[in-house]
Amino acid sequence: MKFLGVLLLGMLLGALVYREFGERRAPALATGQECASACASAESSTSHDLSSSRPVSAAAAPPLDSESAAATAPIGDTTPVASQAAAVAPEQLLVPVEGKTANDLTDTFTDARSQGRSHDAIDIMARAGTPVLAVADGHVEKLFDSKLGGLTIYQFEPSGKFAYYYAHLQRYADGLAEKQAVRRGQVIGYVGSTGNASADAPHLHFAIFVLGPERRWWEGAAVNPYPVLKGK
């Protein structure tokens, strides 16, 4: 009986100790779970979309989908956007859709997109199959088919400071290839609705990015194309 009494007393003391320390640890465990959830949400919100359309990885490897991680945070460029826009080109860029003029453009750069993203580009509405034109001289750095952007082109201008991004293309121009030189006004593709664009609203998603010293096609700080194409 004495042994049974000692055993019961030990079990009671153990329960009291477990209750005391278990309750103290519970908030810490909950906080850890909330942090894990918040971190996962933050990682998902930093992915690049059309905007760009372009993921940035911790290692410098190109992304599997440039709009899943694009449109991914842009490089750390602290230059004011207005200054960036003024420096994009010494002359006004060509409106990249045949038959469209600067007066046809709408500034959609800051429009909101899903998952808290910003548009970081402008949409130029046009009939499907309308030729898409190179806005300036340069070369095709990357042809990319992504979940959100569909068929896309990354064009670098000669100095390598800026990338011009064309998305939702119906198809590329015949013979277009990576590293190929292109001239201002050259047909490089055709307006479409590939990727996440609506088939009822074909358009060209056009963006300008300030490149970092590494000149990676999937990285860049977005510049509003609207004032540049308007010549402002």
Q: What CATH number corresponds to the domain at position 87?
A: 2.70.70.10
190 and 118 housed in the same domain: yes
Question: Quick check: is 163 in a domain?
Answer: yes
The pLDDT score that the predictor gives to residue 50 is: 53
User: Domain of 35?
Assistant: 1-45
95 and 204 housed in the same domain: yes
Look at residues 34, 216, 202, 226 and name the one whose alpha carbon lies nearest to residue 120. Answer: 226
Distance CA 161, CA 163 (A): 7
Question: Quick check: is 54 in a domain?
Answer: no
121 and 226 housed in the same domain: yes
Question: Quick check: is 31 in a domain?
Answer: yes
109 and 216 housed in the same domain: yes
Question: In the 8-state DSSP scheme, what is residue 4?
Answer: H
- List Cβ neighbours of 119 (8 Å cut-off, separation of 6 or more): 50, 51, 108, 109, 110, 111, 112, 113
Residue 166 CB coordination number (10 Å): 27
Question: Quick check: is 88 in a domain?
Answer: yes
pLDDT, one tens digit per residue, over 24-47 is 443 333 333 333 333 333 223 323
Highest mean pLDDT among 62-66, 86-90, 110-114, 225-229: 225-229
102 and 158 housed in the same domain: yes
Residue 15 CB coordination number (10 Å): 10
Tokens (6 digits) for 47:
């992915």
pLDDT, one tens digit per residue, over 173-198 is 999 999 999 999 999 999 999 999 99
30 and 110 housed in the same domain: no
214 and 117 housed in the same domain: yes
87 and 13 housed in the same domain: no
Question: Quick check: is 118 in a domain?
Answer: yes
211 and 109 housed in the same domain: yes
The pLDDT score that the predictor gives to residue 174 is: 98
The pLDDT score that the predictor gives to residue 120 is: 84
144 and 34 housed in the same domain: no
The pLDDT score that the predictor gives to residue 13 is: 56
Please report, for residues 26, 148, 188, the alpha-carbon distance to residue 131 in angstroms, rounded to integers and kept in the order given.
Answer: 62, 21, 8
Distance CA 116, CA 166 (A): 22
Q: pLDDT higher for 211 or 81?
A: 211
**What average pLDDT does the chain have?**
73
Highest mean pLDDT among 101-110, 152-161, 223-232: 152-161
Domain count, the chain: 2
Q: pLDDT higher for 80 or 162?
A: 162
85 and 36 housed in the same domain: no
Question: Quick check: is 124 in a domain?
Answer: yes
Q: Assess whether pLDDT exceeds 80 at residue 205.
A: yes
Distance CA 99, CA 5 (A): 95
124 and 204 housed in the same domain: yes
Q: What is the DSSP string of 76-107?
A: ---S-HHHHHHHS-SSPPPPSBTT--GGG---
Residue 92 CB coordination number (10 Å): 15
